[in-house]
Amino acid sequence: MTSFVLSLDEVDATKQALVGGKGANLGELSRIEAIRVPDGFCVTTDAYRDVTSRTPDFEPLLARLELLTVNDAQEIRDVSGKIRVALEATEIPSGISDQVAGHLATLGAENAFAVRSSATAEDLPTASFAGQQDTYLNVRGPASIFKSLSLCWASLFTERAVVYRIRNGFDHRKVLLSVVVQRMVFPEVSGIAFTADPLTSDRKVVAVDASFGLGEALVSGLVDPDTYAVRDDAIVGKKISTKQVAIYGLEAGGTEQRQLSPDRQTAQALTDAQILELAAICRKVETHFGLPQDIEWCLSEGEFFIVQSRPITTLYPLPPVQDTRNHVYLSFGHLQMMTDAMKPFGLSFFQLQSAGTPLIDAGGRFYGDVAADLGSPVGRRLVLASMGAVDPLMLDAIKAIAARTSFMKGLARGGKKFLAMGSGYFTWRLPVEAVKAYRTNDATVVAGLMSQNEEALKDVRTRFLGFSGPELFTGILEDLEELKEASAGAKGMGVVYAGQFALRGVNKNMEKWLGEKGVAESLTRSVANNVTSEMGLALLDVADVVRRHPAVVDGLPRATDETLFEDLAALEGGPEVAQALRTFLDRYGVRCPGELDITKPRWSEQPTALVPMILSDVRNFGPGASKAAFDEGRTESERAERELMSRVEKLPGGKRKAKKARKQISVLRNLAGYREYPKFLMMQHYWIIKQAVMREAAKLVAMGALHEKEDVSYLTFEELRDAVAKGRVDQAKIENRKAEFEVYAKLTPPRVMTSDGEIITGSYHRSGVPAGALVGIAASAGTVEGRARVIRRVEDANIEEGDILVTTYTDPSWTPVFVSVKAIVAEVGGMATHGAVVAREYGLPAVVAVQDATTLITDGQRIRVNGTEGYVEVLSSS
């Protein structure tokens, strides 16, 4: 006989498929010593399956539901409503009802019960599904309990539950429902406790919300609860709210809302002793589950009962900590304009290539631990100076940490410094080479470095064509050592720093002498040897070819990556377009959004990603726009220099100042273009290596050791090397990492966090900004107004002339979009980042590091971007 019911003492984490997340967690809770859980049982998912199999039209309605997207609101409403009606009308078979009745008799059928839904995709470490299914309190009598069972099963198909599953990628057929039935507890006080502060993510704080009566008043938002914070067995925060109402159980069943007396409304719901007792209980629960928990509790007759515990799914993962000291983590992704989650191979590969910089993986992103840096006066000054030049929000957060005396005393002071001189990118040769590059001001040095590296790449391509099996990985390690010197060596980086020094010098002097900000931006347009800005102009040349062939313009939107060039061959003018596109890809096909992750598909692999940008160029420009834009930029820079020097020469000491400024401008125009080349060189090596890796992946697929070539993205470098050597792959590990990556991809990485998990959020402290304006970093001077286009993926960049790009971050792959917009607004960035450099060269006003720009600005709104002062104003609704 099928067991349709399990008592809680028969349930543990291994029974989740039968009793759902809530039921499994309650079973685990009931096993923890000194933790009180109301007695009860679970009506298993086998019962749900049995009932749905007897429900008329359930299968065809479910099949219809599987075809819908979140945009099909009305059809979701109609289909889910029909499923609920059908389930509620289906009679519960005797095989189930008899077992339920037996367990009720054991618990005392005359008692009141709580009947609560428990889905198999609920209370997971990766998705809470909180509040998606129904709960019924103070249910009395078998008939009412059976009715509540049917209502719970039907609640799996409320609109909110269906939409939640669609949004989170859960299969409707694979999410099943159990129902938990427990003896009802009638509490004096109830609430929620988090074993990590939900506002700051601090794992050392237990945050408690408490109100009188049943917890439904708090969950439904009827009351403003008391809030308490406990850290290290001490109450560190307390707010006593006015609690006007409470919900209590009725003698006949059900609940009612009651008004509290005035003296009760302002009373502290829990005593201090009870707050500390509850915090200790919550820590015990957290220890059992091994993860921070969101816990529902109630206090009845002086005893605490735990009625639910689930993982907190919104916390950003912490880097692994090997000691009990304090650590401070900075987001490397914010410094590198790449805040997307990376796959395991991409993470491990970049660590190999990171030139000795100590990087820590957290949530699929890299962080740098600056505890050792902050622990010394010299290191602290270096951190503050570096962040001040890159990210003011990060700087402000670090200053806030530095002001915490007790925290600073507990810093971990040993280990490798993140910004240590003499290792990684920060070698002692760097300032020497930067001074040398500035003084010699030799434009041929840039051309020479680029030519030398391009020549070396020919040899790299030849070598990698000959690599196979384990020798490939030895070859990769050798190539990465060569790449470190080529892309990040002191000579090349010295050129970059000399150009940046000249830019800052021009801006500083012109503001001091003439009272003008951001002058250098007008002097960097159309500089030589900037491969990133040249890429945007090169795509304009492709658009020129496409524009001549209407059949291609019509056909490109329907193209796929697999058949693009085959489809072009069949169109009038297609072969000419294919040749132009291949020429572009031969040079720039190594690039893509988030390109620091080698696993990301390059344009050579995904050429249709360029189609929206090409068609935007076709719409927004005429023939010859590439040359016209470059010539216009160069003419504008020359005019700006003449005008500035004329004004400077008229100042006291004007000839001396003009001479100094001309040198800075000359260095700027001669050297600034090289800023973009090292990363471009890196991507060329990445592409050569990736092609070789994917050849090995194809061999693993051919021998049946791997399901798909792309699955190697979920192995580390060393794991893949081992798999190639042995011809074996742990596919289960790959599937687990795929699921983990999906979770990480949805998280927003914090700029700064501590080893306690606390997210430190910096702020701008700037006066003279219009009320309501969004503040950021002034990255490229100028002020314009236009329509905001909020675009999070470059593939979705459908730009019209005069639009302003608003996005999360820009890397070199966004450059082709820049040629079509009037200004740039980004959530991440700094003065020296790729987007800022290219925006200045194109003469586009830009404001970066604007917190939450993509949510605070709505697509279609009219906005004003002030790239000189660094703020954005919303002028009208969309």
The residues assigned a catalytic role are 834
Token pair, residue 692, equals: 């070789």
Please say whether the beta carbons of 133 and 107 come within 8 A.
no
Please say whether the beta carbons of 388 and 777 come within 8 A.
no
CB atoms within 10 A of CB 131: 12
| Amino acid letter, 35 | I
For residue 715, which phi and psi values (nearest 5 degrees)? Answer: -110, 150
CB atoms within 10 A of CB 531: 21
Rg of the Cα trace of the chain?
31
d(CA 851, CA 832): 18
Query: How long, in residues, is the chain?
Result: 878
Please say whether the beta carbons of 66 and 172 come within 8 A.
yes
d(CA 371, CA 246): 47
For CA atoms 773, 774, 780, 785, give the dihedral sign: negative
Token pair, residue 154, equals: 């039907």
Query: Measured between alpha carbons, how far is residue 866 from residues 328, 589, 764, 766 in Å?
Result: 33, 34, 16, 14
For residue 137, which phi and psi values (nearest 5 degrees)? Answer: -105, 150
Token pair, residue 310, equals: 């689930």
d(CA 361, CA 342): 10
Q: What is the DSSP letter of 116?
A: E
Q: 24-44: string of b/e by CB count within 10 Å (b at 16+)?
A: bbbbbbbebeebbbbbbbbbb
d(CA 484, CA 681): 11
391 Cβ partners below 8 Å, 6+ apart?
A: 334, 335, 751, 777, 830, 849
> Virtual CA dihedral for 399, 400, 402, 406, nearest 10 degrees?
180
User: HEC string of 125-192?
Assistant: CCCCCCCCCCEEEEEECHHHHHHHHHHHHHHHHCHHHHHHHHHHCCCCCCCCEEEEEEECCCCCEEEE
For CA atoms 546, 549, 555, 559, give the dihedral sign: negative
Q: Which residues pair with 181 in a beta bridge?
A: 41, 115
Token pair, residue 779, equals: 């990255």
Q: Which residues pair with 213 in a beta bridge?
A: 247
- Residue among 274, 234, 76 at smallest CA distance from 157: 76
d(CA 135, CA 179): 9
d(CA 36, CA 19): 20
445 Cβ partners below 8 Å, 6+ apart?
A: 437, 495, 671
Three-state secondary-structure class, residue 752: strand
Q: Which spans in 377-489 are helix H?
A: 377-390, 392-402, 405-409, 429-440, 443-465, 470-488
Q: Which residues pair with 7 in a beta bridge?
A: 41
Token pair, residue 187, equals: 């509490």
- Could you give the angle at the alpha carbon of 462 between the alpha carbons of 456 and 465, nearest 5°? 140
CB atoms within 10 A of CB 633: 20
- Residue among 309, 82, 112 at smallest CA distance from 195: 309
Q: Which residues pair with 304 in a beta bridge?
A: 299
